[in-house]
Structure 1
Amino acid sequence: MTSPSPVPAARDGEAPPGDGEVWRTTRYGVLGAAVGIVLVALGLVAGRADVALLGAPVLLGAVWRGRPGAPTATGGDRPTRVEMVSGTAPTAPGEIRSTLVLDPTPGTELLQARVWAPGHRRTEVVVRAERRELGLRLVTRRTGPQPTFVADARGHGAGGATTEDPMRATAPERLVLPTAMPLGRVPLPYRLRGLTGPHTSRRLGDGDELRDVHPFTPGDRLRRIDWRTTARRSPELDEIYVRRTYATAEATTMLVLDSRDDVGPDLTTWRGSGPQRVDEPTSLDLARHAAASVATAVVDAGDRVGLEDLGRRRRPVPPTGGRRQLRRILHALATSSPHGVPARRLRAPQVPADAIVYLFTTALDDESVDLARTWHDGGHRVVVVDTLPVVRPVHGEHLRIAWRVTSMERADRLNLLAAEGVPVVPWAGPARRSAAARLELLVKAAERHRSAPVHLAGGGGR
């Protein structure tokens, strides 16, 4: 039996039933008919009945062999059905699954399918013609909307004499949510707000941490009376003493995502002239991962978290707590992407009072740095997360000089922020593994009530 020829490119819905020929004779079918004719002719000319009888089956098989897809009791004149079914079961982070369903035309002998996805190698398979469900799987390090599987399939008749026009099925685009890295404790704002929460504030109220023992005053609750202290200090019960505690409060965290840039390690793709690789996270992928990690740590601690996107003029996600809010944050992070040339903001986005601001940016221009400085001067605690990926060595003198100038300007911006008391935490390459330790350093510095800002090295250019 001859091997099937490669599946050519097809378009969605190509060669539908009733719109032209679906099955065609291949070169193998033409060659079989030609061989049969030659053998029969030689047998008749030479008077050799054995030679003519040898060519007759070949000729009859090529001419009279039924074409697949002809109307039968079990099927009709239809092409092979190709369908892509997206998986609904939970998968591992960065993993996309789907199912390719092949339903061949009655009379088909072999099914040939070719599957690929942008940025991935093509895979081709030939199977026996029967209804099949082929599992598809790909792994990507990118987040956000991702193109997935494209499949071309066609059937082959007996002996490869006939073949079917290829049919295409395309899986829908999938939204890959960012994953989170365990961080432990993250820095809190300078002042806490709210009437309840997991943290102890510096004001009086209901809580567990003792502040002092004070004489009873109007407004104090009876359950706060300290009878032992009262009996010791006022045996005649002339004065009653109560135990006063610090109130509990919650922290408010505002995540500010700079989605205006989406650049990768390859400088040649920064101008949009080439596709980004699926095995290399871009700056926006790193920003999504860092923001998801901080949001998860904040929600696990029982605090409130919100999201602001610098790349799009839309209503921010207001800060609140809970697992439902975390899902909203992750979905908003995954759908963020650059939209043309964003208009320059005349003023910094408004953030809640007494909130800590995490700015995830590449610092490739002055706008994001100016925003961080504005929030810091307004009394907010600001942490800048550097999300520029580690740039690969470049080739070409002009490109090398341009990157050197850009990296020096970027390093000056980040160093100036650190000098003004805004810590910079890198999130690319090996520095990501030490990000949790750097944030823990900021937490311990705040617990020791240091007045001097903490400067973290490593936020400069690469």
Structure 2
Amino acid sequence: MTWRPTQAAAGAAAVGLSALAVGVFFGRADVALLGVPLVLGAVLGRLGLPVGRTSAAFDGGGPSAVPGEIAETLRLTAAAGSDVVHLRVFAPGHRPADVVVPGQGERELPLRLSSVRTGPQTTFRADVRGYGPLGASAEDPQRLGAPDRLVLPEASRLGRVPLPSRLRGLTGPRTSRRLGDGSELRDVHPLGPGDRLRRVDWRATARRSPTLDTLYVRRTFATAEAGAVLVLDSRDDVGPDLRTWRGSEPLRVDEPTSLDLARHAAASVATALVDAGDRVGLEDLARRRRPLTPATGKRHLRRILHALALTAPVGTPARRVRPPQVPTDAIVYLFTTLLDDAPLTLVEAWAEQGVPVVVIDTLPDVHPVPERHLTLAWRITAMERADRVRALTARGVPVVRWAGSERDRAAARFEVMVRAAERHRPVAGARR
């Protein structure tokens, strides 16, 4: 049986019958009249039972269209003859929300949820229950679960980010140090083999060779593009609470973990590079699957964001014998928590190959805990991390913190690094 009498209706009928019995027994018409509406309401409610059952369903799952937001649509079709439909919607880490809608026809209820967590996320659950006329009957409650959603990381505006000293390709958005077609003037030179006639500078020719014995051409620097490889260390995913590092307690949904920060930082760097027209690739240290080769364009950026959202620790990662292969003229952005010596080994291997590296520290700010043994363990871990940061700095590898208030200053840190690289770059007009 789908529709059953409610406790309120049964209580109202019992009170009404009691009032009628008391009024008749003591000859009090006023008391008897008080019980008539209650009894009639219960009887009419039972006579007008709704037909069928309320149907409700969530739309199919898929990646979230807006980074950092989970959106769902609950489609509701009330049973014929029902008065209202009561909904109670649950979301992880949030208080349940109660909604009452009229029980007429079909309705679409949009649900929105902001999330600081990224990757596969559990979204909404809903309890649906219809009520008949006068609340005398109610159907058996239904529990619905929305499919898990893939929340894409949201990118921050960084402006300029560090680039490799050597550019690649025959075309691109940046000016290289070699001769070729471009917009930046290199010099004015006598016409020689390989020079095009459309490059002839007639004013310079008239000024330097009035008899036109020698033609002078304007030579420019060629354009090229920068290459970058994002290396994500997804071997562990830790939160700000040290008690969750043991794996026995769940991570909170309102606090970003180290992998959430790594996804956000990688998405921000990738967006800045792709918007500038550079090529970006992606490598995951925890998985040996095929990496994303460097490419450019908005479509490739969407592939990177989707791949970042799918990164997650999988069992015990195997130890890498050699670092991921990257192009010799690319820069590496390493996103890691620096909780072990594996990142230092990778950076040393890349340094021997002449590959520039920028390390992004993605460990969240750790909250103090009352347990003394956890506090002591964190002090030892923090000192080991400080030693690794000093070792990287001594090697000339910049380390950028990406947690708490330091994340807001990451763009300024990148700008300082870019200006420092420009000061040490060869002068554009320098000749051999």
Residues 69, 106 of structure 1: 8 Å contact kept: no
1:252 correspondence with 2:258? no
Residues 161, 273 of structure 2: 8 Å contact kept: yes
Cα distance in 2 for partners of 1:292, 1:238 equals 57
Cα distance in 2 for partners of 1:228, 1:363 equals 60
Cα distance in 2 for partners of 1:399, 1:85 equals 44
Residues 190, 380 of structure 1: 8 Å contact kept: no
Residues 376, 422 of structure 1: 8 Å contact kept: no
Q: Which residue of 1 aligns with 2:295?
A: 320
Superposition pairs of residues 24-173 of structure 1, within 5 angstroms = 24-35=4-15, 62=42, 65-66=45-46, 77-85=51-59, 93-131=67-105, 132-173=107-148
Deviations 1:246-280 (A, max 9, x none): 22211001111111122111111122222322322
Q: Which moved more, 1:394-403 or 1:150-159?
A: 150-159
Relative distance call for 1:399 and 1:217 in structure 2 (3 A) is: same
Which amino acid counterpart does residue 195 of structure 1 have in structure 2?
L
Q: 1:176: how far off?
A: 1.8
Which amino acid counterpart does residue 237 of structure 2 have in structure 1?
D
Identify unmatched segments of 5+ residues in structure 2. 427-432
Deviations 1:123-157 (A, max 9, x none): 12334433444332221111222222111011223
Q: 1:349: how far off?
A: 0.7
Cα distance in 2 for partners of 1:326, 1:444 equals 26
Relative distance call for 1:395 and 1:49 in structure 2 (3 A) is: closer
Q: Which residue of 1 aligns with 2:272?
A: 297
1:335 correspondence with 2:310? yes
Deviations 1:421-462 (A, max 9, x none): 1100111111112111111111111111179xxxxxxxxxxx
1:355 correspondence with 2:330? yes
Q: 1:174: how far off?
A: 2.0
Tell me the secondary structure at the aligned position of residue 66 of structure 1.
helix
Residues 235, 285 of structure 2: 8 Å contact kept: yes
Superposition pairs of residues 346-425 of structure 1, within 5 angstroms = 346-425=321-400
Q: 1:415: how far off?
A: 1.3
Q: Which residue of 1 aligns with 2:185?
A: 210
Q: 1:225: how far off?
A: 3.5
Identify unmatched segments of 5+ residues in structure 1. 1-20, 71-76, 452-462
RMSD: 2.9
Which amino acid counterpart does residue 197 of structure 1 have in structure 2?
G
Tell me the secondary structure at the aligned position of residue 222 of structure 2.
strand
Q: 1:192: how far off?
A: 0.8
Which amino acid counterpart does residue 411 of structure 1 have in structure 2?
A
Relative distance call for 1:37 and 1:403 in structure 2 (3 A) is: same
Relative distance call for 1:227 and 1:165 in structure 2 (3 A) is: same
1:429 maps to which of 372, 395, 404: 404
1:220 maps to which of 178, 191, 195: 195
Relative distance call for 1:122 and 1:420 in structure 2 (3 A) is: same
Cα distance in 2 for partners of 1:52, 1:229 equals 115
Q: Which residue of 2 aligns with 1:442?
A: 417
Relative distance call for 1:104 and 1:224 in structure 2 (3 A) is: closer
Residues 68, 105 of structure 1: 8 Å contact kept: no
Which amino acid counterpart does residue 80 of structure 1 have in structure 2?
T
Residues 109, 128 of structure 1: 8 Å contact kept: yes
Cα distance in 1 for partners of 2:183, 2:8 equals 86
Q: Which moved more, 1:390-399 or 1:59-68?
A: 59-68
Residues 69, 105 of structure 1: 8 Å contact kept: no
Tell me the secondary structure at the aligned position of residue 223 of structure 1.
helix
Superposition pairs of residues 265-284 of structure 1, within 5 angstroms = 265-284=240-259
Which amino acid counterpart does residue 261 of structure 2 have in structure 1?
L
Relative distance call for 1:67 and 1:342 in structure 2 (3 A) is: farther
Q: Which residue of 2 aligns with 1:74?
A: none
Cα distance in 2 for partners of 1:309, 1:118 equals 28
Q: Which moved more, 1:137-146 or 1:127-136?
A: 127-136
Tell me the secondary structure at the aligned position of residue 270 of structure 1.
helix
Residues 40, 55 of structure 1: 8 Å contact kept: yes
Deviations 1:183-219 (A, max 9, x none): 1111110211111112222222222333334444333
- Residues matched between the structures, number: 423
Which amino acid counterpart does residue 271 of structure 1 have in structure 2?
R
Which amino acid counterpart does residue 106 of structure 1 have in structure 2?
A
Q: 1:347: how far off?
A: 0.9
Cα distance in 2 for partners of 1:270, 1:347 equals 28
Q: TM-score, normalized by length of structure 1?
A: 0.83
- Give % identity: 64
Q: TM-score, normalized by length of structure 2?
A: 0.88
Residues 256, 308 of structure 1: 8 Å contact kept: yes
Tell me the secondary structure at the aligned position of residue 246 of structure 2.
coil
Relative distance call for 1:64 and 1:124 in structure 2 (3 A) is: closer
Q: Which residue of 1 aligns with 2:429?
A: none
Q: Which moved more, 1:52-61 or 1:201-210?
A: 52-61
Deviations 1:66-118 (A, max 9, x none): 36655xxxxxx422112234799x97652333333332223323322110111
Cα distance in 2 for partners of 1:202, 1:57 equals 93
Deviations 1:212-236 (A, max 9, x none): 3444433332333344555555555
Superposition pairs of residues 192-203 of structure 1, within 5 angstroms = 192-203=167-178
